[in-house]
Structure 1
Amino acid sequence: MSGRVELSPQYIAQLIREEQDVPVQVVAVDTLPTSAKNPVNKATFDTFLQGTVYKASTLTQLQEQTDALVMRLQQANIVAAAVPIIETSRSSVSGAGENPLPVSLTLRYQPKSHFTAKTGTNITNSGQGDAYLTFQKRGLLGLDETVTLDHRRDTGTNAGSNVSVLFPYVVPGNAYLSGKIDMFDAWKFLGVHDRGAAANLHTCYTPKSGKWNHSVTLDCIERVFHNSAYALPIKDTSTLVSEQLLVQEGKSLSSSLRWCASRDARDSTIAPATGHMVKVDTQISAAPETATPKFIKASCESNWVRSWLHNDFLTLSATGRAGYIHNLDPTRSYIHFADKFQSGGPNDVRSFAPMGLGPRSLGQPLGGDAMVAWGLSLFSRVPVGPMLNSGFRLHAFLNGGRLVNHNGMGLGDLARTLAQEHSTSVGLGLVLRHPMARFELNFAVPVTTHDGDMVRKGFQFGLGFEFL
């Protein structure tokens, strides 16, 4: 018996369970848009197909690569939804022998609109919200790229405009290498005004692949800093001005090359119940007018999560961060405070104000060039009726960290300094783990502090994507 036979999802699942290593060969792929408007370019589909389903050689790989294809098309802002249908020219795989099973794939997809405009509010990881106005145009250059004009203003004093071009792929046949170009004009609440451009290449592997994702960014920035526009996270009636900030006033140019590598094997990025994550970030900055290297900035972060009892009733999360900045020419240049590390806040070392740890002058945070921070959190489901299976969790935590300026001390002495006299806090709270973000309401108490630390004893609200 011959003819095309559609394999139902249940049959596919049964085949994968019973004969995971059945060899297959994808012989044809048809792409059918739900609308004649805004179809995806053939060259774009060829790249994504060559990088995913055409690489499948077994039934299990075919399912994995089909899922990866749909994920990448959505991630690249090309389709709104996609439904794959797998068919075979044989009615049964039994007795197929060593010959691969020929299969064809039909992908029904809903294209993204060529133009969209939206406004609303968003969530930032600084514990604040923002209002935004966004315009998007897809395929302006005929490459299925997405051009975005974005302007936002948060509930603090941050404001900025950004024009970006996201390319779904950079190299033909490589579905996992994307590119992006940004041009930005941003005001920060530290009194810093940055304008410039950045070009980025990044990989987009899924956590299931077990591969590291890499990102390389080259930027050039014109920075203007006015101390009079410096806004403190707490009210300060002092009329004195820090000399260490005054010397940084004015305009400066800088360019940097940044490389970031991460491997995230957690089951969720916002509310994981198991798994681990490792991230390494390195940046080298230079003065573009002289091409003289200014500093190297390196940081790393690790998160380990494990759960116990039925339905992940108890979850333990341990996070550690460390960073170091080395001034390559300390006799001729300084490191701007906006480039230094900051620590403290409801999403960082809790029970301290944002930028509440580390060196400061006349109450104004200066940042540090060496830091460690750590957090230990225990989450529990709320054992009360319908709350048991909700997104709410009870939360107990212990946080700590140290932020210093090392002033060129040896690495051994610096390691001993960072290992001692941490600012620490403990607390209890309630967490809402939403698919889009995480909300925390904690009652936190500082345990150990340094002179100058900006303490926030009592209730503290955190909102964002990443927490210590």
Structure 2
Amino acid sequence: MTAQTGTSVTSGCHLLSVPNLSRKLSPQRLATVVYSSQPEHLIQRRRCNESIATTSLDVTFATPNYSTALSALNGFHPYHYHQMSDLEGVELPNIRGPFSETASPREQEPHLDATGEDLQAKRAWLDEQLQKRLNGEYETMGRRLEEIVTDSRDSPAKLSAIRVDGSTLRSSFLAAIFKQHLDKDPARTLTEVLQKSRNVHHNLAAFDLFSAMEMKLDPAQSLFARQGDLDLALKVRERGKLWAKSSTDVGNGEGSANISVRLRNVFGGAENVEAQASYGTRTTSAFNVSYSSPIPEFVTTPTPNTRLTAQVFQADRDHSAYAGIKEFMVGARGSLNTLQSYGAHDFTYEAVWRNLGSLQPNASLSLRDSAGSSIKSSVAHSFTHDSRDDIHMSTRGGYLNTLIEYAGLGGTVNFVKGQLQTSISRPIDTKLQNYVGLSFRTGALLPLGGSMSEEYAYAKLFSDRFRLGGPTSVRMFGHNRLGPRDQEDHLGGDVYYSGGVSLTTPFPTKPHWNLKCQAFVNAGQLVSLKNNNLTNALLNPSISAGVGLVYRFTPIRVELNFGVPLVASATDIATTRPMQLGVGLEFL
């Protein structure tokens, strides 16, 4: 069968009728569509001049096999199918979209030509209009809901109960968390109920146990509920019990491969058990198992900002890059960590057995005196305040960290140790994105001796002394190669300070890149308390300067610097080349 364009069509055509469609379309838009014997080739669309009295859309095909052509009609489905041979001589005018002849067609509705190539465009346009209509309805509903809440914000209401669905947390743990929201300063208006509901949601989400949380308010289900009493219903989906991760880390002068396995919510009180193993270039192997938990509910109200941690660990360290000796340690650690609005506190007790051995044949006498075993039993407190906008490449904000440690609660080493680290960054030209950074670090270790001789006690503090120098410390010097030295062995020091100033600018023509340019000046000094001229040594720091490239590669920072030492002491070891690569988390 064939179809002719123009004023007539051949007989033997078939008619499809879609009842009730005229309720949505005016009679002027009801159309007759003619297809050729190739079903996918649209010949012409004509407006029917005949009077249409029925509530149906008549669609005419010139082929009995109309299913392929029907699929192009964007979802029209036939309710009636019957023979039609009465259209000979009927003129079928062109059909255009609504308002297509106006100066500004509505919403740029695409025009369908006789070839049918714009059917997909028409379909996309209809989908877009539907989505716009749905979005409009959602916005209208949101505004109406907002109006209802606003009008009712001062109406009496009370949060009477909190229900959690989908959680494996202990009932006593949840009751302790929710008690403060239900009993302490109970809500009296709808606004207060909504605020308390938001606080409950945030408090529970901070434990990092759930991958999804839904919250809604329902009328109270209690038989003794009064008018205005509401229940907060939380529907949660917990994260998987088992979490595992493998990674490779490069930073702070060494590289390592790590494997971590964690069990979440072990006993139903947001407890975590984690095991880690790592193998590296300087910490050749390390293993630790830790257990962390919020403060139990029978002690006080559990909170995600305060956690108790117990840990056992073992590590092998190779110090041969700057001293011909290796160290093995095994110990246990317990800590209380609390996070406040102004910063984080960490209280720690540590007991560790250390053994220094595997001396190299050319090890110095000072290093040989340090060999052997020692036991450290210490308590420490650290405080951290961090307001930087980016911990790896800060443009504004500050950082402060303090540490004080006392060792002498038993064990064989006795000392007091303090340390301070601070930095600040400020933009100097926001238009050009230039900013300056200042940093300063200092620390001191005071041996207490105890029952041992002073010389012996001092020798056993090799693992506790400070070390300075390297790409993340005083740049253009060797890693841990500043300060006291005996032959080729750097022994570390008891007092140190270091400071730096850097100017960071965007990479030329590419200000949006994570690659930046920097110029820096570093200075530092590390001395021993046994130095006969301690004050003079501290007043003559080692200094370096240079320029370089900085790349922010989350979660680390990479630097490639070109510079030279300007001032160095006789015991300092500078880099042999004017280029130095640094990879780490914290830089001077």
TM-score, normalized by the shorter chain, greater than 0.5:
yes
Indicate the residue corresponding to 1:193 in structure 2.
328
Q: Give the conservation status (yes or no) of the 8 Å contact 1:52–1:68.
A: no
Q: Give the conservation status (yes or no) of the 8 Å contact 2:307–2:336.
A: yes
For the residues of structure 2 that align with 1:65 and 1:271, how far apart are their CA atoms? Answer: 33
* TM-superposed deviation, 1:83: 4.8
- Deviations 1:330-368, CA, capped at 9 Å, x for gaps: 744225211000011111111111101111111111000
For residues 7-18 of structure 1, the aligned pairs below 5 Å read none
Distance 1:397 1:118, change over 3 A: same
For residues 374-413 of structure 1, the aligned pairs below 5 Å read 374-384=499-509, 387-407=510-530
Q: Does 1:172 align with 2:297?
A: no
SS at structure 2 position matched to 1:388: coil
Q: Give the conservation status (yes or no) of the 8 Å contact 2:507–2:517.
A: yes
RMSD: 3.7
For the residues of structure 2 that align with 1:431 and 1:389, how far apart are their CA atoms? Answer: 13
* TM-superposed deviation, 1:388: 1.9
For residues 304-383 of structure 1, the aligned pairs below 5 Å read 304-310=424-430, 313-329=433-449, 331-332=453-454, 333-334=457-458, 335-383=460-508
Indicate the residue corresponding to 2:338 in structure 1.
203
* TM-superposed deviation, 1:61: 8.1
For the residues of structure 2 that align with 1:84 and 1:254, how far apart are their CA atoms? Answer: 49
* TM-superposed deviation, 1:82: 4.5
* TM-superposed deviation, 1:41: 3.7
Please say which structure displays the higher CA radius of gyration.
Answer: 2
Q: Whose RCO is larger (CA < 8 A, sep 6+)?
A: 1
* TM-superposed deviation, 1:102: 9.6
Indicate the residue corresponding to 2:207 in structure 1.
73
Distance 1:318 1:102, change over 3 A: farther
Q: Which is worse superposed, 39-48 or 305-314?
A: 39-48
1:136 is aligned, of 262, 282, 291, to 262
For residues 72-91 of structure 1, the aligned pairs below 5 Å read 72-74=206-208, 78-79=209-210, 81-83=211-213, 85=215
For residues 151-166 of structure 1, the aligned pairs below 5 Å read 151-166=277-292
Q: Give the conservation status (yes or no) of the 8 Å contact 1:53–1:65.
A: no
Q: Give the conservation status (yes or no) of the 8 Å contact 1:427–1:443.
A: yes
How many pairs does the alignment contain? 414
For the residues of structure 1 that align with 2:201 and 2:529, how far apart are their CA atoms? Answer: 48
Q: Give the conservation status (yes or no) of the 8 Å contact 1:279–1:300.
A: yes
Q: Which one has the bigger strand percentage?
A: 1
Distance 1:337 1:111, change over 3 A: same
For the residues of structure 2 that align with 1:390 and 1:200, how far apart are their CA atoms? Answer: 40
Indicate the residue corresponding to 2:347 in structure 1.
216
For the residues of structure 2 that align with 1:134 and 1:310, how far apart are their CA atoms? Answer: 42
SS at structure 1 position matched to 2:406: strand
1:117 is aligned, of 240, 244, 248, to 244
For the residues of structure 1 that align with 2:550 and 2:268, how far apart are their CA atoms? Answer: 45
- Deviations 1:376-411, CA, capped at 9 Å, x for gaps: 122122242xx32232221211111000002387xx
Indicate the residue corresponding to 1:182 in structure 2.
311
For the residues of structure 1 that align with 2:268 and 2:403, how far apart are their CA atoms? Answer: 34
For residues 438-449 of structure 1, the aligned pairs below 5 Å read 438-449=557-568
The one-letter code matched in structure 2 to 1:397 is F
For the residues of structure 2 that align with 1:300 and 1:157, how far apart are their CA atoms? Answer: 25
Indicate the residue corresponding to 1:258 in structure 2.
380
Distance 1:371 1:407, change over 3 A: same
For the residues of structure 1 that align with 2:243 and 2:328, how far apart are their CA atoms? Answer: 29
The one-letter code matched in structure 2 to 1:155 is T
Q: Does 1:272 align with 2:394?
A: yes
For the residues of structure 2 that align with 1:349 and 1:328, how far apart are their CA atoms? Answer: 29
For the residues of structure 1 that align with 2:537 and 2:182, how far apart are their CA atoms? Answer: 53
For the residues of structure 1 that align with 2:376 and 2:160, how far apart are their CA atoms? Answer: 52
For the residues of structure 2 that align with 1:126 and 1:52, how far apart are their CA atoms? Answer: 45
For the residues of structure 2 that align with 1:129 and 1:303, how far apart are their CA atoms? Answer: 26
Distance 1:66 1:452, change over 3 A: farther
TM-score, normalised on structure 2?
0.62
Q: Give the conservation status (yes or no) of the 8 Å contact 2:161–2:182.
A: no
Distance 1:144 1:64, change over 3 A: closer
For the residues of structure 1 that align with 2:398 and 2:505, how far apart are their CA atoms? Answer: 19
Structure 2: where are the runs of 5+ without partners? Answer: 1-140, 151-156, 220-227, 320-325
Indicate the residue corresponding to 1:241 in structure 2.
363
* TM-superposed deviation, 1:278: 1.6
Identical-pair percentage: 25
* TM-superposed deviation, 1:327: 1.1
Distance 1:391 1:279, change over 3 A: same
SS at structure 2 position matched to 1:339: coil
SS at structure 1 position matched to 2:318: coil
Distance 1:415 1:433, change over 3 A: farther
Distance 1:264 1:157, change over 3 A: closer
